[in-house]
Structure 1
Amino acid sequence: MRIKLLPIVLAIAIISCKKDNANDGKQVTNINDLTVPGSFKWNTSNEVKFTIGISDSKFQNLIQVISIYLGNPDQGGEILSKGSATPLNAFNTKITIPTSASSIYVVKSAPDGTKISERVMLTSNHIDLNFGSSGLTKSASAHSSDKSKSVTAELAATPAAEPDCQASITGSDINFNSKQVICYTSANDATINVNANPGGTLKINAPGKKINIQTYNHTGLNIIIGSNTTVIFSNLELKSNEEIINNGTLNITGKIDVNGTLTNNGTSNINFLQINGSGTVNNYCKLLLTDAQLDKVLNNYSYVQVSNNVVLNSSGRINMIGNGLSGAMFQTNDMNAARGGINGSGATSLFKVTGKIDQNAILDAKQSSNRQVFSGNIELCTDQDIPAGFFIAPAKKGCEAYIAADGCISTGNGTPPVVIKDTDGDGVNDTEDDYPTDPALAFKNYSVNYIKGGSTAAFEDNWPSKGDYDLNDIVIGYRYLVSTNAKNIVAQVDAEYSLIASGADFKNGAAVQFPLAAAKAKIITASAGMSFESQQDSAVLILFNNSKDLQLTGNTDPAKATSPVVKLSVSFSVVDGPNINDFGVGTYNPFIWNESNGYGRGYETHLYGKTPTNLVNASLFGTVDDRSKPSSGLYYRTESLLPWALELPIANFAYPIEGASILNAYTSFDKWAQSGGAVNKSWYNDSTNTNSSLVYAIK
């Protein structure tokens, strides 16, 4: 392995030497001598998208909270973004992160208060993660176009809308002449005959009445039993292309052979249940059986009771699906065959055997390593001695699983888990809810370095002409708090700005453009002079119109008095807001314009590559030193790809004094730029490469 790596190491060394020799080891001191890669965007931060899903089904579709930190949260790491996720809906967010950062931490908080924390390397601008029950099960840097997460758990399905009636019948004979929807009603107990060889759908709705089906000829017929309606069969064969949906009471006095689908949302009393062929039974309430033989799938979301015996053959499977904090329950007297599989998902479920379990299955589990019957989140409650080989962890023998008593389960089991209070009822418990008494708000998302003051944007104001690159004509500090609701929808933005320096002779205004339609932003409170600009299709927040009105001196000449830093703030609500993944948490689009005589509002200066607002003077693009290409979406660049502004992910950036180039103030700036940002990523915060006599630092 070392022999194979050596040529690669040598190649890297040679390339590095060539880069260093490009300028003969000398520092570039003239901005016009800089040579930067064509792909360089002059960014000290990257916009990173996250898709974080959950495959842990223990809590079903209850909200789990995802928090993203820059740094270890146990050691003071700063939180950047926070939101909700479920097995059905991933947490999608977008954060601006310093290019110097190599990793972040992701914490998943479950409804019961348990947490899982993982460190994740920043290897891409789209990080795709998935949390299982014990940690990350997937970590992919490649972007996935499918934002949905695959769900390994059985989740309760949303009921399909019932079909509308095409014919209504009250008589005792129901004949289908074509595949149609017939609705049967009766004000009395009744016996009916059904002939439905063409197929179709029969809806039976007779509240408080018993409907006995005496003759039943059918092919491809679906039956929907209405609420509080009792339907009685003696024997029934449910064919592969048929379904019965019971919303009331279904009584089978003999045997039902399920090759199709039986969905029980009410109470089903069945003497003998057999599932085979392509059959499936979905039980969402109370399924009461005398005997059962299972060769296919029974999905139990609630309560199944077998008063005599259940036979689970090798092709049979029982899925026990808890509903978040409470499990499902299956109780039988005997289990004379246990050759299939019984799996639990969601909250821990209970499989209770009051009589005997198949001794052959127990013996097989003792003698073989692959004869497990129980798996997942489930407990087997029995007095018998059960070997460990009967289970795949976390399945185990036990009788403590919590089963909540309700309208379907008359007698529950176990002790309720500690439930953390959710005062505002938005689905996010108070511990994780940043606004526990406000159902419209749930999570706080912060721009980078928020606690320490935020970030800085430094501008040259001579656009479309190049300036002297002291980057002190306008220096603005900023930080953002973006609040979202329980569905990760942006609901409110709180922003703070600081006018730190205004070294130019021009009268410059400043604003920020947000990725939001203008009509959606409504100011709650704002500093004097701040407002959203009219005649804009997007939300453009005016910070000030003339910096000279705010600072007497520009804070760029150490020989002159220092003007106070001007603090500005705004809070605005967002109506019908976007997802945090679309709005993001970061720099947004700050810009300045030259309000001096002979110029005007159209002289907008933005960060490299950022788009102008619709009030820009578009005729200025491509003039003087500007080489923007609007048709290609390329803005604010010179022929040699120089910018007019930089953003720095620190507060109180020590910007160059008047007339001092950024190249001379920061002696590693040239290396950072010419490497395309690959080296000296923290040049703006490196005292060893800072010429302290050429920078102005506000204390």
Structure 2
Amino acid sequence: MKRLYTALMAVALVASSCQKDTGGSPDTPDVPGAIPADFSWKTTRDVNVSVAAPTVNGAAPAYAVINVYSSPILSAENLVTGGATKSATPFRSAFTLPAGVETLYVVTTLPDGTKSVKTAEVRSSVDVAGASVTTAAMPKVRAAAITRSASSMPAFPTMTAPDASSFDPQAVIATTPSKNFNLGAQESQYAAAAYYIPAGAVIEGNINLNGNYAPNKQPVLYVAGKLVLSSPNIGYATLAVLPGGEVTVSGKLTAQNVAKDLPALYVFPGGKLTAAEVNFSGKVAVNLGTVNVSGKLDLNNDLKFYNGAGAVLTSATFKYSNTGGLFNDGAISADELEFNSTAAFENCENGDLKVEEMIMANTTTKFYQKGVAEIGEMTCRGEFYVNCYTYVDDLGLEGAKLYIAADACLETGEADFNNAKVEMAAGSLFIAQQYNKNKGGNNTFTAAAGTVIPVVRFEQSAFYSEGNQYWSAARTTFSGPMEVVDPQAEAENKFYVAKCFSNGAFLTAEQLTNIPKSECNGGKGQITPDPEPEPDAYTNVPGQVYTYCFEDNWPWLGDYDMNDVVIESRIDRMVSKDGSKVSALTINWELRAAGTTYDIAGAVQMDKVQASDVANVESSHKGFGSGMFASQGLESDSQYAVIPFFNNTKELLSTSNTWKGHPASATQKHTTTVIFSQPVDIAAVLDSEMNFFITPKQRTNEIHMPGYAVTASGLIGKGSFQPSEPYKFYVTDGDQVKNNYMMWALVIPGEFRYPAENNDIRGVYEHFMTWASSNGTQHPEWYQESADADKIY
């Protein structure tokens, strides 16, 4: 007989027509819509999972611990089964899941503590590939920029330092000219293509760098000594600072955007330029020595500025705009660095960047970070590419795009994102001490598949969703294979936090994924896990929480408020290493409401466990009184194990806990532990095999979940159902046709906000009837959706 165990569906099994309780009347609320006669949808499912044994360097370890989670939040309340593989033996287990669960998350822990996570689509039978781990030597951490043979620094114009003896003596400027000296001019006493200030010479003023004179319109001034100018303008000339040479500009140094063959400025290694202010519009500038600007450094138009390996460039305010490009393979430091228009900045592999404040002013700006960068405050509205370790103390992304390359790390003290898109490659790492305290929204993190999944780590606090337990909005979503670490994530947030994770993304309290330390992640992703102890023969695996709600007034609906008996339950199981056997289980239960005037007992029958298989039953509820069950132990004269919880709701609650505004009774959590004489198959004690029921007024009256038969003590009475259709109920007495196939009990995943007294559930939850009349295809989570809060207890 095929079981139709379904969460949120029920049938009444009673011996005779019960009297109505005081909470309702034969005239039910006028709520239209009958549940169809072929009401046979499912909202839970039984799953069998097989996890292949892992390998380390191609060999199977002695054992590995397997934990399977039903949620992207890898926490204890979402653990559905667990155990261990032995050598090359696969791990196999069975469990019951709510139908809304689409993905399983399988965590494999090796004996050395190394963990890996795999995802699998939920099916009736799930096969998961085993984890495969390869050990390798870890590269050293790069603490600062180092010179590499390979760099993405593009080719730039180069100049060769001339031999001092090669200059015409008339082209050597050894003393300050008495009047303005125009380089290359015919009227000048030195009409040459190249000029030279020798070492030891100090020239103060009267040098004109325009250079647009016949016959030499692109002259070069080589400085090996010292040159002091007030506010020169570089036109067609080239200012070349040789090793040991120094150029000082007391005012503003400018360069025009003119067509010429050589750079406007070329600083050789060992050369030095100091200026109060710089405004360059020239085509090209090259620094291989030192450039120090005490004020504003303004690079604009289509200028390309190359700061080569070993070079140092400093400024107070650094602004780069328009269509140019800034390339750094040396060191750049600035109090403020701003990019706008279509400016692009490439901090190459040897680059070392230190900036107090960095602004990427619009969406067309680009920053390629391949070296080492330390930034105090950064506002980005463009595209930010992280290829190597980058630290930003305060990072703001406004409509920006962030790309973190494989094995790279971006670390922030505080990150505030709004309409930002983050793409993470394999093995990449994003760390934020605080994330989105300003509660920006519409942010996405996406990940690409790879050998090592990327990790997003929130160290202190994070905001990525808002709303209460049932109505919420995801302000940041995580999609693709990635681990999100948030030690502050609260268990009560599980319903809406889960909306943020999809396609293999999952949430943990501690980092599971080990990212080997490298030059470009600063060792920030490396973890040293504690060795996993040899698993015990049987391990406790917490179960899923379900709420069971009963109406006691069949065949009349009465008030149909589904609160006559409300029991919340979670079954924990002692599971064997391989996940196939259960030696004991603990039913954690709590009577939350009893909106009834009847004497009602509550119990469970294990439909696949013989009474003879139970060695002992122990309950924490010591106030079990006389009534329908003789004791809290196994009921006698029953083939299957029937275990009572209470003989009367009044043992636990002195008030109903259903009337709004009335004093309520405190509820108490209880445990009923069942020890088996011999371990039973895990398939025999799934949630779907737990036949919860209540008995109103007398022992022979039983109300069960749909698809579940009465116990040996229950009777099938008048008008209940035909033996040929044991799992359907049709109202024949006392109610209108609109109530045909209505339910007298519900089992709901998680905690349930049940209706207050005298509130028909069909008028409390907006989508209840839509869900029911669609055979469960529409609004399957109606109990988490729109409801009349005034009618909920």
* Class of the TM-score when normalised by the shorter of the 2 chains: 0.3 to 0.5
| TM-score normalised over the length of structure 1 | 0.46
Q: Which has the higher contact order (CA 8 A, sep 6+)?
A: 2
Which structure has the highest helix share of the two? 1
| TM-score normalised over the length of structure 2 | 0.41
Larger Rg: 2
